[in-house]
Amino acid sequence: MHSVVHLLKSTTFPSVKRLNLETIQVNLGYLCNQSCTHCHVNAGPNRTELMQDEQIDQLIVLMNQGWVKKLDLTGGAPEMNPRFKRLVVAARKAGVHVIDRCNLTILSEPGYEDLAQFLADNEVEIFASLPCYLEDNVDKQRGKGVFDASIAGLQKLNALGYGDKLNLTLVFNPQGPALPPPQEALEADYKAVLFEKFGIRFTGLVTITNMPIARFGSTLISKGTFETYMNTLKGAYRESNLAAVMCRSLVSIDYEGTLYDCDFNQQLGWPVRDSSGKAMTLSDLTRNALDTIDVVVGDHCYGCTAGQGSSCGGALAA
């Protein structure tokens, strides 16, 4: 059986040129309190990979150089890295906008009772995973009891001002090998149901296409649906989405400090390489270090450009 990485090698996807680098997206490690079926990083409770002090120190130096606009923290559950708070505080002190990609259930875990208050005190924007507003669908994708814990987390965040004065964005992933529905209409449904049933308020909803890599890609292969899903993505390709893909203004950094064009390339093991072919790391990163280096593309890039488009910030087009 072919591996996901082998199946995604491509020479047909258009080349992508970078714009100004503005966002540093950092994977703080693969440790997570959940093991979701759609997870493209194979995160879980038994993973031990975590970013260490050396890389955190290098990131803080970058934050203080004045050119980084956003620090986007992901995982795993990024909050489970014991250096999470130190990095957030340093970034905010440097005037950098911080995004935490939170799975919500971490807010209920023992030892994280003060996490929501910390995020609010530091005005951290939260992107929170909630793949549906129905309990059965959420628990099927993310595990039994996850929906109730997620609702409790959202209510805790609302009480601290999230959804009003602080940005709280919910993240939707499809249940399986299908494109997300139109983002605007789905957001209206989420807002109506969650407010009516639980009194929950949030700033907006983003829809993210499931990428055919890692755990989700392996599931597609085992079920014999990988090629069908890839045909769906390719058939919905829209050239206009190329102008707004996240890799043009973002660099992704793994827990060891290696640079990638996006979080998905990171999971495929396709780093950014310099003119000599050397994989670049945090020590190589400057404001203009990537200006002349094309983005590494593969067939998974159709996931970002299919239909309404998809990025870590949601749909790219109406």
- Three-state SS letters, 217-267: HHHHHHHCCHHHHHHHHHHCECHHHHHHCHHHCEEEECCCCEEECCHHHHH
Q: Which domains does the chain have, with CATH numbers?
A: 4-305 (3.20.20.70)
Predicted confidence (pLDDT) at residue 312 exceeds the cutoff of 60: no
pLDDT at 23 over 90: yes
- Over residues 187-207, the pLDDT tens digits come to 999 999 999 999 999 999 988
**Residues 6 or more apart whose Cβ sits within 8 Å of residue 89:** 122
Assign 11 a pLDDT band (cuts: 50, 70, 90). Answer: low
Q: What is the tens place of the pLDDT at every residue in 66-90?
A: 999 999 999 889 999 999 999 999 9
Task: Using a cut of 0.85, tell me whether the model's pTM lies above it.
Answer: yes
Whether the upstream peptide bond of residue 76 has omega within 30° of 0, thus cis, is yes
pLDDT of residue 293 exceeding 80 = yes
Q: What is the pLDDT of residues 241-272, one digit of tens each?
A: 888 888 999 999 999 999 999 988 998 899 99
